[in-house]
């Protein structure tokens, strides 16, 4: 067990921020003596159990994996500086950053993010979690639980492209993926054949990655932006879903300013005008307002 303090890191806020779907709350009995909240996290075939009490975090993992998990939580980025950069005249964003100051952009696996955010289309966060776990249990590598932590169940890594490519379209449909099954099936074939070059994708800049990703069946602009932000760590990415659209229109829309803006370009223009000044951290601002609006609407889960 390794304990440390990492500024601007709140496990509950990260778990509820909509960027990660494999943070599972630990049973109440595992918290005693460790912290006020705890989670099991699965990423790239590794399992972490982590607890938080106040600012102190306790990591339960092998010493050889500590570097991986510190990178996963993006510990080298100064998130207080991001919060301090919020324009003082933007009271809404200032309140959102204050409310979600424990959110960090996790460094997750791009392939997992591609499939996860294809699944996310028209799905609630609990349902996304359920489907991601179903895919992992059916096709991912088994990872043993830890009886010492009261975790007896066998958990699974997210399936690699080759592992998931073994699923037929009918099998994916049986998992209740709906129309997303055909997207996932095609993406698996593309990844295995090399048409979807995941290693090459990891080397691309933001604009190049966006153009590349949106060229694949089932990946639109919103999904591509999510992959860029949460999988490739392009922090200038600013995904716009229904929650963000609602915020942009209620908090940042100026009827006089945008009266001649074509409807198809309106949201892009608002994002550029209001968040373009946050180059290098606009995606963090997106997470702050997404979390804040769900918090205010009592929709956190």
Q: What is the pLDDT along the chain (301 residues), one digit of tens a residue?
A: 899 999 999 999 999 999 999 999 997 656 556 668 999 999 999 999 999 999 999 999 988 999 999 999 999 999 999 999 999 999 999 999 999 999 999 999 999 999 999 999 877 888 999 999 999 999 999 996 554 444 557 899 999 999 999 999 999 999 999 999 999 999 999 999 999 999 999 999 999 999 999 999 999 999 999 999 999 999 999 999 999 999 999 999 999 999 899 998 999 999 999 999 998 899 999 999 999 999 988 766 5
DSSP-based three-state secondary structure for 58? strand
- Strand 23-25, strand 2-5: pairing: unpaired
Q: Which ranges of 6-145 does DSSP label H, i.e. alpha helix?
A: 11-15, 66-72, 79-84, 91-99, 110-119, 125-139
Q: Could you give the angle at the alpha carbon of 136 between the alpha carbons of 131 and 142, nearest 5°? A: 155
Q: Return the sign of the alpha-carbon dihedral for residues 289, 291, 294, 295.
A: negative
DSSP-assigned beta bridge partners for residue 59 = 2, 50
Q: How far from the centroid of its chain's Cα atoms is residue 194's Cα?
A: 25
Model's pTM, two decimal places?
Answer: 0.91
Distance between CA atoms of 157 and 85, rounded to whole angstroms? 37
C-alpha separations of 47 from 56, 112, 136 in Å: 20, 15, 14
Give the residue range(s) of CATH 1.10.340.30 domains in the chain. Answer: 108-230
Portions of the chain given CATH number 3.30.310.260: 1-75
Classify 17 as helix, strand or coil.
Answer: coil
pLDDT of residue 289: 97
Distance between CA atoms of residues 188 and 193, nearest Å: 8
What's the confidence (pLDDT) of residue 144?
Answer: 67
The Cα-based distances of 228 to 100, 148, 199, 219, 285 in angstroms read 21, 37, 14, 12, 15
Reduced to 3 states (helix: H, G, I; strand: E, B; else coil), residue 223 is: helix
Q: What pLDDT score does 125 carry?
A: 87
Query: What pLDDT score was predicted for residue 35?
Result: 66
CATH number of 1-75: 3.30.310.260
- For residue 33, the model assigns a pLDDT of 60
DSSP E strands: which ranges in the chain?
A: 2-5, 23-25, 37-43, 46-53, 56-60, 142-143, 155-156
Is residue 216 within 8 Å of residue 198, measured between CB atoms? no
What class does CATH assign to 108-230? mainly alpha
Q: Residue 145: its pLDDT value, please?
A: 58
* β partners of residue 38: 51
Torsion of CA 142, 147, 150, 155, to 10 degrees: 0
Strand order in the sheet with 56-60: 2-5, 56-60, 46-53, 37-43, 23-25
């Amino acid at each position: 067990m390794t304990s440390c303090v990492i500024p601007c890191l709140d496990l509950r806020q990260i778990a509820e921020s909509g960027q990660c779907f494999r943070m599972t709350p630990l049973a109440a009995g595992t918290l005693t003596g460790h912290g006020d909240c705890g989670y099991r996290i699965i990423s790239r075939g590794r399992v972490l159990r982590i607890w938080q009490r106040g600012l102190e975090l306790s990591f339960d993992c092998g010493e050889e994996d500590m570097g991986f998990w510190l990178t996963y939580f993006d510990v080298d980025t100064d998130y207080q500086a991001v919060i301090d950069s919020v324009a003082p005249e933007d009271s809404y964003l200032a309140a959102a950053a204050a409310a979600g100051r424990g959110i960090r952009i996790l460094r997750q696996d791009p392939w997992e993010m591609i499939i996860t955010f294809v699944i996310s289309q028209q799905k609630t966060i609990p349902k996304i979690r359920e489907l991601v776990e179903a895919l992992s249990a059916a096709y991912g590598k088994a990872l043993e639980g830890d009886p010492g932590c009261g975790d007896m169940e066998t958990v699974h890594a997210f399936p690699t492209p080759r592992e998931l490519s073994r699923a037929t379209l009918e099998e994916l449909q049986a998992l209740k993926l709906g129309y997303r099954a055909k997207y996932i099936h095609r993406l698996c074939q593309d990844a295995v054949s090399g048409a979807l070059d995941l290693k090459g994708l990891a080397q691309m800049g933001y604009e190049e990655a966006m153009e590349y990703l949106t060229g694949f069946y089932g990946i639109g602009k919103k999904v591509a932006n999510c992959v860029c932000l949460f999988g490739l760590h392009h922090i200038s990415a600013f995904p716009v879903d229904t929650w963000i659209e609602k915020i942009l229109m209620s908090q940042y829309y100026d009827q006089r300013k945008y009266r001649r803006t074509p409807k198809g370009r309106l949201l892009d223009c608002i994002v550029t005008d209001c968040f373009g000044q946050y180059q290098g951290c606009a995606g963090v601002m997106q997470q702050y307002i997404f979390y804040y609006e769900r918090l205010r609407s009592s929709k956190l889960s």
